Amino acid sequence: MASSDSLLEVRNISVYYGSFRALEDVSYTVGPGSVVCLLGGNASGKSSSMKAIFGTVPLRTGSIRFEGQRIDGWTTAKRVAAGIAAVPEGRRVFANLSVRENLELGACTLRDGRAVRTYLDAVFDQFPQLRERQGQMAGSMSGGEQQMLAFGRALMSRPKLICMDEPSMGMSPALVSRNFKLIKSIRERGTAVFVVEQNARAALKIADYAYVLRTGSVMLRGPAEQVATDPQMQAAYLGHTPLAATVPPAAH
C-alpha cells in the first residue's frame, strides 16, 4: 500500500564507492505527473542518485519507495517492469540497430507483442521524425535525434516515471530548448520526469520542484521558481559563472 502521495520516495540514502562517499544522507521525492530536477556541478553525485534508483549501485543507508512499495532490494529489471524508465547519460542508443529496433528494445519488459505495436505507433505519433527514420541506423543520427530516440525508447515501456541523466549534455541551446519542451509534453500526458542536470537554467524553466546537490549532499531544495531566485543559487550557478563552466566536454 502507498504510504504517501509520492510516486518515488528516496529517503536518507548514502552511496559509497569503496571508502569514497558519493552520496550522504540524500532524500528527495517525485510526485505523480510532476517534473523534478536534481541539479549540481560535476561529480556532485547526480549520476549516482540516478543509479541508486535503478539499483546499479548499492545503498549503504536509506530506502527507496515507488508507489509506496520498498524497491531498493529489487533487481533493475523488476524496477523497470514496475514503471520506471531511464534515459541514460550520453543517450546510449544502440548505434548499429535501427531506430525501430532501438524502440522495440525499450518494450522488452512487455510480454504482449500487440502492445509493442500499439506503443510503437504512439511513440511515432509523438515523434514523427522517428517514424520517418525508423529504418535508419541510430548511430547515423544527430545528437538531438538520438536524444529523441532515447526518450522514445524510454516511453515504450509506458513508464509512470522517466529518469533522465543530463539530457542537455553536448546539445546546442536550440536543441536543449526543444528537448526540454518534450519533457513538458511528457508531463502533460501524466508521466512524471526526474531530470538530473548541470544546466540549472534550462531545467528550472520546466521543473516543478528542484534539489541541488553539492559534493553528495542536498544543499538546497524547493519549488523551481524559488530555487531559481535563491541568492545562493544565483551566486553559485545562475550568475556569470555557469554551472557547467569547469566541466570538460563529454567523452563521446
Ligand X SMILES: Nc1ncnc2c1ncn2[C@@H]1O[C@H](COP(=O)(O)OP(=O)(O)O)[C@@H](O)[C@H]1O
Q: Which residues bind ligand X (CB under 6 A)?
A: 17, 20, 22, 40, 42-48
- With contacts defined by CB under 5 A, how many residues of the chain interact with Mg ion? 2
Q: Which is nearer to ligand X, 44 or 147 (CB)?
A: 44
Which amino acid type is present at position 80? V
Please tell me whether residue 236 adopts helix, strand or coil conformation: helix
CB of 105 to ligand X, least distance (A): 24
Decide if residue 76 touches Mg ion (CB under 5 A).
Answer: no
Please tell me whether residue 223 adopts helix, strand or coil conformation: strand
CB of 74 to ligand X, least distance (A): 21
Q: Which is nearer to ligand X, 43 or 95 (CB)?
A: 43
Residue whose entry in the numeric block shows the C-alpha cell 550568475: 239
CB of 46 to ligand X, least distance (A): 3
Q: Which helix (H) or strand (E) holds 16?
A: strand 8-17
Interstrand relation of 61-66 and 35-39 (parallel, antiparallel or unpaired) = unpaired
CB of 42 to ligand X, least distance (A): 5
Task: Determine the residue with CB nearest Mg ion.
Answer: 47
Q: Which is nearer to Mg ion, 46 or 79 (CB)?
A: 46
Please tell me whether residue 21 adopts helix, strand or coil conformation: strand
Decide if residue 47 touches Mg ion (CB under 5 A).
Answer: yes
Q: Which is nearer to ligand X, 148 or 243 (CB)?
A: 243
d(CA 181, CA 29): 22
Instruction: Write the Ramachandran bin of 51: left for phi over 0, alpha for psi from -120 to 50, otherwise beta.
Output: alpha
Q: Which is nearer to ligand X, 44 or 199 (CB)?
A: 44
Decide if residue 215 touches Mg ion (CB under 5 A).
Answer: no
Residue whose entry in the numeric block shows the C-alpha cell 538531438: 144
Please tell me whether residue 112 adopts helix, strand or coil conformation: coil
The DSSP 8-state label assigned to residue 176 in this structure reads: H
CB of 169 to ligand X, least distance (A): 10
- Residue ranges in contact with Mg ion by CB under 5 A: 46-47
